[in-house]
Structure 1
Amino acid sequence: MQLSDLSNGLDTVWVVLTAAMILLMEGGFALLEAGFVRQKNAVSIIMKVFVDISFGALIYYVFGFALMHGKDAGGLIGLTGFNMGGDLTHLPANVSHDTFWLFQCAFVIAVISIVSGAAAERIHFRAYIVYTIVMTGLIYPISGHWIWSPNGWLAKIGMIDFAGSAAIHALGGFAALAAALFLGPRLGRYGADGKVNIVPPSNLPLASVGAFILWFGWFGFNSGSTLSATNPGIGHIAVTTMLASAAGCAACILFTILRYQKADPPMVINGALAGLVGITAGCAFVSDGAAILIGAVSGIVMVLASEWLEKRKVDDPVGAFAVHGISGSIGTLAVGLFALPGAASHSGLFYGGGWHLLGVQALGLAVVAVWGFGLTWIALKAINLWRPVRVSSDEELVGLDVSIHGVPAYSREHDFIEVDKLRAP
């Protein structure tokens, strides 16, 4: 066996394992969102995660991957790789095409899971299936091609996004904002007099476990993006990931104590996630100190963004936009400020690189935000012509678990359900 064969074998094992870590994050999304919503909608959240994984993987295999990573001539869209066929010789050579697809598939599933939280408790299940197909087959692959394909137009002008603060999180976050605005707030969330009615999470311990699973999976998300088990930067990537997440969590604890006189558990949970989102773009390119600063700023701004949305009566049950859209934006721009000399193709502003990289990052972020928000709005508008995207008032009041899926999340030992009534048209 040649040394190159051994190296490629190690790389394959590394990429498959980190892809599995990212896929495990879907369990984190499921528990986090189920814990944040009311009990009567917990099953509906879990069912959406199953849609994300199953439909997302199949659609991405058939044509999403081709649009994102296929060869192209103009930097706009891939043209090869449908059903994993055609010319894919430009893909990384150290792992097989199947291995590379699996890792990228884990990413696309994460994108759609961001949107599901913002639409929780009121989007119709069938409409969500159609939107999942659009997001995983068109919206994410096309903008992802611009950033991550070697010939993508944003990549060619120098945009840097190591593991997806913009390509995944900002895109998913602004798509989530569009979904929340399109659907409108949950019934009773805001009073006629403008009063904000708090909807307490149904199970914070469950949400906390979900956050810890996401935290664990993020090491695969970031470190696995090296696509190489022998990359000497893996350790540094893992350290910046840990420091940023810890800083985001700690900053939220201190900030909410100062602001509300008590540490706010949902905000603290989201603070850790905000730090993780913020560091995703620059985890391989910034110093440890910069990672701490990025994480802390992401955590604090996430709290302020959540308050801002609430004042404007935008109902986002799990804080998807504040965590992913806002923190993803911070992380994308932070690369333009803190990228170390020699670590990336351009140095950041604070390291003598001038304004070029920051300008490119800002342009790329703006494009991704408009693309994610605009295409999601158009998709939901089109789906709404087929059937209402939002469930009826009666279905929402009863809860989606029973009204849409025919089963409650939690039942007592002697409960009996009249199935015919639940499944009646």
Structure 2
Amino acid sequence: MNEQYKEPESIKIVQKDLKEASDQSAVGEITERESVLIENTNQVPGISSTVDHDSFEGKVLNDRYRILSLIGKGATSTVYKAADSKTNQTVAVKILHSHLASDPTIMRRFEQEAKTARLLKHPNILPVRGFEKMRSGVPFLVMDLAEGTSLQDAINAAGWIPLERSIAIFVQVCAALNAAHEKGIVHRDLKPSNIMLINSEDGTLLVKVLDFGVAKILPTTGDTVLKLTQTGEMLGSILYMSPEQCLDKELDGRSDCYSLGCVMYETLTGKPPHCARTAFETMNKHMSEMPVRLDRVRPEISWTPGLQYVVFKALAKDPNQRYQKIEQLQNDLQNLLTKAPSILRQPSSTVAVTTSVDNTTLWKKLTDSEAVFYMLWMLFFILVALFIALHGSH
């Protein structure tokens, strides 16, 4: 029966959450909070845990890039430190796994990461120098080498990040996203492992946002959307997906705002706002529940009321209740750093500091097509559970 199983396009969302902590710097260890997703995914037929075993260490790519050492390996690509003989500089080379090079959609996304990054010239966005292919046809990206640690690794090591440092990180992430949004680019996959922390020689913190591989370029007048997804296929990491992303709706910059809200919550508490036993349950929480208040997750911390307001405003279920521009969020965070009275006081707004949302309210807001999509997801996971139960007993 397994041979007849055809993998639904939508299940690729689960595969993406099995990526390494970071393509750019992490070695690829799976965090404890992701182990539940992995445990459940390994039971679903049709999902492969195949890892590419190609090793390029010591080799020279295109007579120019000598591979020096491994930086990190993930489900789709491997990142190496390399010496560029033309510029005499050390760079990072991100190589797509060879067994994926025949997939035209993955190839286009890989190339899009380079094209998108070249549109973005900003100190808080990691530059991509170019897109090349080996003689074998396997593509690779050449990037600036940013030696630091991912925000995910920093959270895992410390448990959580102190308030002032956290806000300083968030401000720079906002600056990067704002630059992208001004170019009509939505990241769609913002998460702690895509945020690099670099301590400069003078001790200042520099933050870089990485991995625009699934970014979406929004249309200007007369243009069409650059779309690399198929119907029913959602891109992004489940722990950080906006409600509208879970529903496979059209996205704009406010979706990135929600994802950043998830990142802020996890950075400040050490826990993602929503993490359930299965991918579907996690998505359901994004759509129907508000996370626990920050001061209840970590009551030992003296929380600034304004900070809690900022985080939960970013996490509003309705995009119209979030910050409409990332710049607005950045300004409020900057005000927190300078202790502006206007943001430090407890807001009267009822946005988001509640602990739950009535599911019936959510369903009333869904269109017929959204409700059908939601129910199909529910039916799919029920069928998978039945399949596992029936065949696991034999």
State TM-score, norm by structure 2. Answer: 0.27
Larger strand percent:
2
Highest RCO, 1 vs 2 (Cα 8 Å, sep ≥ 6) = 1
State TM-score, norm by structure 1. Answer: 0.26
Larger helix percent:
1
